[in-house]
Amino acid sequence: MGTIALSGLFVYPLKSARGVALDVAVVVARGLEGDRRWMVVDRDGEFISQRTHPRLALVSALLEGGRLALAAPGAPTLVVDPPSVDEPSVRVRVWDDVCDALPAGPEPARWLSARLGIACELVFLPDGSHRPVAPASGVTAAEVSFADAYPFLLISEASLEDLNRRLASPVPMDRFRPNLVVRGCEPYAEDGWRRIRVGPVAFRVVKPCSRCGTIVVDQTTGVRGREPLATLATYRRVGSEVMFGQNLVHEGTGPLHLGDEVTVLEPG
């Protein structure tokens, strides 16, 4: 096996909205800087994602000097300031986790409600809100943003290429919403890694990623189909779950650059 390198680096400023490709990103306490600190919730504080509202794929969210710029086809761009930490917080839920968040106010709520066709609200995760990663990660005191459970998702290009050879119509990597994409390894090599280093930062590979209905949503049209989940289920099923990619927890902080070497510190 030759050199393995970081070939893709992505953040998702707004959970379940369109991702942003970067050349350089910084690993901070909760993951990549700016990753999923904003989220859409319903009136009960439950998170909203492409699983139930695939039109979120049409919303782009860019960070501009700490502010969030929201855009969507046929809609005016809306720039949102992070709420003041002095504002009253609300309780929000991401799966089984409940944590404090700050509402962004009525204007973003109206903008998003019009895009998604449901009464909803935009919230922000402040630094003081506590949301630990799952205990099974083996990394103590690690925090996560509004990501589903873990700060990082890694997928190899070779794994996607293997999947696409099985599909009638290939799908791009954005279907799977990774943070880290690597090249130079065999398909599914990431399944056999336990600790890796990317550039200066070490990561623990904690568990395979169980895939849901988000991966059947075309990220350019917001239209839901059957693939690639149907095909993955024929050869990547573990019990009742379909696995593709690996969840990671970082063991340090620092900058990541496209082209950084990936070193396997502990094989599985």
Per-residue pLDDT at 253: 96
Indicate if 15 and 74 belong to the same structural domain: no
pLDDT for the residue 134: 78
Of 90, 124, 158, which marks where a domain is finished? 124
For residue 173, the model assigns a pLDDT of: 98
DSSP state of 196: E
> In the prediction, which pLDDT does 144 show?
96
What are the pLDDT digits (tens) for 70-107? Answer: 999 999 999 999 999 999 999 999 999 999 999 999 99
> Beta strand 241-250 with 152-156: parallel, antiparallel or unpaired?
antiparallel
The C-alpha angle 209, 213, 215, rounded to 5 degrees, equals: 70
Which domain covers residue 88, as residue numbers? 38-124
Position 1 pLDDT exceeds 60: no
Q: Are 120 and 90 in contact (CB under 8 A)?
A: no
How much is the mean pLDDT over the chain? 96
Whether 223 and 254 map to the same domain: the answer is: yes
User: What band does 268 get if pLDDT is binned at 50, 70 and 90?
Assistant: confident
**CATH number of the domain that residue 150 is part of:** 2.40.33.20
Burial class of residue 95 (count of CB atoms within 10 Å of its CB; 0-12, 13-18, 19+): exposed
173-220, pLDDT tens digit by residue? 999 999 999 999 999 999 999 999 999 999 999 999 999 999 999 999
Amino acid identity at 156 = S
What does each C-alpha distance from 4 to 60, 105, 152, 228, 259 come to in angstroms?
Answer: 30, 45, 18, 26, 9
Reported pTM: 0.96
Last residue of a domain, one of 91, 124, 157: 124
Task: Please report the pLDDT score of residue 135 as a whole number.
Answer: 72
Q: What is the pLDDT of residue 248?
A: 97
d(CA 256, CA 22): 10
Do 182 and 157 meet the contact criterion of CB atoms below 8 Å apart?
A: yes
Sequence-ordered list of residues with C-beta below 8 angstroms from that of 139, at least 6 positions apart, any chain: 133, 204, 206, 249, 251
User: What tokens were used for 244?
Assistant: 């593709």
Strand bridging mode 38-41 / 121-124 = antiparallel
Q: Which of 124, 142, 170 is the last residue of a domain?
A: 124
Taking residues 51-66, report their average pLDDT. Answer: 96
Q: For residues 116 and 146, state if they share a domain.
A: no
pLDDT tens digits, residue range 109-164?
999 999 999 999 999 999 999 999 877 656 666 899 999 999 999 999 999 999 99
**How much is the pLDDT for 2?**
77
Question: Count of alpha carbons within 13 Å of 112, Cβ hemisphere only?
Answer: 32
